[in-house]
Amino acid sequence: MASQLFSPMQGTVLLLDVQIGDDVAQGQRVAILESMKMEHEISTSISGTIEKLFVEVGETVLEGQEILSLVPKEISQAGNEAESEIDLDHIRDDLAEVKERHDIGLDHRRPEAVAKRRRREQRTARENIADLLNIDSYLEYGPLVVAPQRKRRTVEDLILNTPADGMIAGIGEVNAGIFSEEKAQCVVMSYDYTVLAGTQGGQNHRKKDRLFEIAKRWKLPVIFFTEGGGGRPGDTDGMQVAGLDCLAFGLWADLSGIVPLVGINSGYCFAGNAAILGCCDVIIATENSNIGMGGPAMIEGGGLGVYQPSDIGPIDVQTQNGVVDILVKDEEEAVAVAKRYLGYFQGSIPDWECEDQRKLRHLVPENRVRAYEVREIIDILFDSDSVLEIRKDFGLGIITSLARIEGIPVGVIANNPSHLGGAIDSDAADKASRFMQLCDAFGLPIISLCDTPGFMVGPEAEKTGLVRHVSRMFVTARSVTSPTCTIVLRKAYGLGAQAMASGGFKFPLFTVAWPTGEFGGMGLEGAVKLGYRKELEAIEDPEEREAAYQALVDRMYEVGKGLSMADHFEIDDVIDPSDSRRWIVRGLKAARIEKSTKWGNRPMIDTW
């Protein structure tokens, strides 16, 4: 009995592979139909001999219309099986073309460009990314785009000389061996200085838009290598006059406070590239960096003179003025520091060590006016090799560092008694305020180590806008949602001490002092001179006056000792310095600090 084959769809017969009397195997193609511009193979579900054909080539058939009938019959499939074997290693022409296009932009196909980097003792953009990421995890976006200059150059020239339009970007894993795959996910982007001097072309702006939106939606940190000359005037293929409707800078700024933004620079970084860098939470720069909002062409065009790129924003200037947060030797060190920095925001680690905490008992001199190195205290108090100082060469009166304690990431703010006796000036206040924002944005607790005579005073200090700058510490501290802990190492005087304690000693999770702690509404010496001026002026003998003055200072010191503050409950306790870690760890557990940090606690992080 004959069996029918029906059309599975409406379409036009393009091809009939069989004639009446042909033997067909099960699954063998017998016709091709075209439907909605797509070709569909029609195969038999049984084997047999073709009895009738009901359609012709070119005929339009309806769904369910009979195409042919066949008489069932056992037909060997050996020949069809042989025809269906596929060589899995075979590269078709279309795939070969794609592979070639990808390969053209890689370093091994661009030896002259690589050689130029070597002459400058720099790595290529792809080498930096390979060092930063688990490269097997890397997905690159837009590697096949070229500079939008088709009106002035051939496509072949653009493919060879403007690969990826000078912007290499994608997602991958950073610190995957330390943190889980989920926590290790990161967006990485790099201008490619070997392509049109790392300038910002139309396609690489669109690539930034794409990756910035991905970072925001999926809460991925971004590490950005920013070397380059800024905006590119030579693109021809856009429909624009000035390009000021570009989305990239606004989308980039949107990420501030939502995900960690890490900027790395080596070499020249001017104009738009510098604006990208300036929005970053942290700027890591190599010794050969020059960073400026305008490059030589822009300066000359403004009638401001002719300068070499190396004259603009050299690294010694940009570290001392606070633009650069961390100075490194070269790109290799920059990548290592970037990975370490990002790790603080990826969560806690299980393995840690620390030094013998009894050393802390001996680091603050018994002589209350003797300077000491507070960095030594920080290194011993927190986990070994866990401290990363930020903005070391700016705002010298306050030290800001990221660190860990029992593996938990924290931020550390400490007065520096080796600079102005620990007094807080405008730069130090700005530095501390911005660091508090950084920690709060990504859920890091803040540990404050206080040793300050207060805010800096005097006519010269006021010329810096001191009133406004130091007040930032108060308003910033009161906006912080992360827990804060204050340990008074020695001096805690006046408004400066309150600023180091989130606005007052009762605001932190705890405020404790070491035995060397001393307190007052203002410095003891100043308080005596101000409060006992008449009495002291009445003493005619200079030696007797000095003795009386010292006796008053000593008496006020006794009144303002930590023990006196504690028995009046103005602080929570006076502790053995070696017990400081226990106070911090137990306090953070009480505050329910999670193993993983929480991001997005602020609308943005001030760039300054």
317-365 tens-digit pLDDT? 999 999 999 999 999 999 999 999 999 999 999 999 999 999 999 999 9
The three-state secondary structure class of 83 is helix
For residue 407, the model assigns a pLDDT of 96
Bridge-based pairing state of the strands 48-53 and 23-24 = antiparallel
Residue 41 lies in a domain: yes
The pTM of this model reads 0.88
Most confident of 296-300, 330-334, 455-459: 330-334
Task: Name the percent of the chain lying above pLDDT 90.
Answer: 77
Distances (CA, A) of 558 to 81, 107, 550: 99, 70, 12
Distances (CA, A) of 290 to 294, 303, 322, 329: 11, 21, 14, 14
Domain total of the chain: 4
Task: Give the mean pLDDT of 240-252.
Answer: 81
Residue 88 lies in a domain: no
For residue 535, the model assigns a pLDDT of 79
In a shared domain, residues 192 and 181? yes
Distance, in Å, from the CA atom of 331 to the CA atom of 399, rounded to the nearest integer, reads 25
In a shared domain, residues 315 and 364? no
In a shared domain, residues 64 and 119? no
Of 294 and 424, the structure prediction assigns the larger pLDDT to 424
CATH number of the CATH domain containing 9: 2.40.50.100
Residues 6+ apart with CB under 8 A from 157: none
Q: Is 485:448 a contact under the CB 8 Å cutoff?
A: yes
Q: Is residue 224 pLDDT above 90, yes or no?
A: yes
Q: Is residue 124 pLDDT above 90, yes or no?
A: yes
Task: Give the mean pLDDT of 8-15.
Answer: 94
Q: Is 578:474 a contact under the CB 8 Å cutoff?
A: no
Q: Is residue 447 pLDDT above 70, yes or no?
A: yes
Segment among 78-82, 214-218, 560-564 with least mean pLDDT: 78-82
Residues 6+ apart with CB under 8 A from 270: 228, 229, 230, 290, 291, 292, 293, 294, 295, 298, 309, 312
Strands (E), 458-542: 484-493, 510-513, 518-520
Q: Is residue 460 pLDDT above 50, yes or no?
A: yes
Residues 6+ apart with CB under 8 A from 271: 229, 230, 231, 292, 293, 294, 295, 298
Q: Is residue 584 pLDDT above 90, yes or no?
A: yes
Bridge-based pairing state of the strands 261-265 and 222-225 = parallel
In a shared domain, residues 196 and 236? yes
- The pLDDT tens digits of the residues spanning 387-400 come to 999 999 999 999 99
In a shared domain, residues 172 and 268? yes
Task: Give the mean pLDDT of 375-391.
Answer: 98
Domain boundary among 313, 343, 373: 343
Which amino acid does the sequence have at 80?
N
For residue 595, the model assigns a pLDDT of 57
**What's the pLDDT band for 369 if we cut at 50, 70, 90?**
confident
In a shared domain, residues 553 and 566? no
Q: In what order do the strands lie in the sheet with 60-61?
A: 38-43, 29-35, 11-16, 60-61
Q: Print the SS3 string covering 18-55.
A: CCCCCEECCCCEEEEEEECCEEEEEECCCCEEEEEECC
Give me Rg for the CA atoms of the chain.
Answer: 35
Q: Is 404:447 a contact under the CB 8 Å cutoff?
A: no
Residue 106 lies in a domain: no
Query: Which domain covers residue 539, as residue numbers?
Result: 522-560
* Range 211-241 burial, b when 16+ CB lie within 10 A, else e: bbebbbeeebbbbbbbbbbbbbeebeeeeee
For residue 82, the model assigns a pLDDT of 45
Residues 6+ apart with CB under 8 A from 8: 40, 42, 63
In a shared domain, residues 255 and 140? yes
Q: Is residue 529 pLDDT above 90, yes or no?
A: no
Which amino acid does the sequence have at 594?
E
Backbone angles phi, psi at 604, to 5 degrees: -170, 165
**What's the pLDDT band for 598 if we cut at 50, 70, 90?**
confident
The three-state secondary structure class of 67 is strand
The three-state secondary structure class of 491 is strand
When the pLDDT of each residue in the chain is averaged and rounded to a whole number, the result is 92
By C-alpha distance, which of 282, 227, 285 is closest to 260? Answer: 282
In a shared domain, residues 466 and 575? yes
Residue 91 lies in a domain: no
* Region of residue 243 (left: phi > 0; alpha: psi -120 to 50; beta: else): left
Task: Give the mean pLDDT of 9-30.
Answer: 92
Which amino acid does the sequence have at 221?
P
Q: Is 42:109 a contact under the CB 8 Å cutoff?
A: no
In a shared domain, residues 49 and 139? no
Backbone angles phi, psi at 243, to 5 degrees: 75, 20
Residue 72 lies in a domain: yes
Residue 442 lies in a domain: yes
- The two most distant CA atoms of the chain are separated, in Å, by 137
Residue 187 lies in a domain: yes
Tokens of 520: 């007052």
Distance, in Å, from the CA atom of 419 to the CA atom of 415, rounded to the nearest integer, reads 9
Backbone angles phi, psi at 248, to 5 degrees: -55, -45
In a shared domain, residues 77 and 179? no
Mind giving me the DSSP string for 138-178? Answer: EEEE-TT---S-TTTS-HHHHHHHSGGGGEEEEEEESSTTT
Q: Is 488:511 a contact under the CB 8 Å cutoff?
A: yes
Distance, in Å, from the CA atom of 111 to the CA atom of 108, rounded to the nearest integer, reads 6
By C-alpha distance, which of 265, 182, 180, 279 is closest to 225? Answer: 265
Segment among 413-417, 505-509, 542-546 with least mean pLDDT: 542-546
Task: Give the mean pLDDT of 434-456.
Answer: 96
Q: Is 410:444 a contact under the CB 8 Å cutoff?
A: yes
Q: Which helix (H) or strand (E) holds 215?
A: helix 202-218
In a shared domain, residues 206 and 172? yes
Tokens of 556: 């006020």
For helices 524-531 and 542-559, give the axis angle rounded to 10 degrees: 120
CA 228 to chain centre: 19
In a shared domain, residues 436 and 550? no
Distance, in Å, from the CA atom of 447 to the CA atom of 432, rounded to the nearest integer, reads 12
Q: Is residue 93 pLDDT above 90, yes or no?
A: yes
Q: Which residues pair with 412 in a beta bridge?
A: 401, 447
For residue 80, the model assigns a pLDDT of 47
Distance, in Å, from the CA atom of 65 to the CA atom of 338, rounded to the nearest integer, reads 67
How big is the chain, counted in residues? 608
Residue 8 lies in a domain: yes
Distance, in Å, from the CA atom of 151 to the CA atom of 354, rounded to the nearest integer, reads 63
CATH number of the CATH domain containing 273: 3.90.226.10
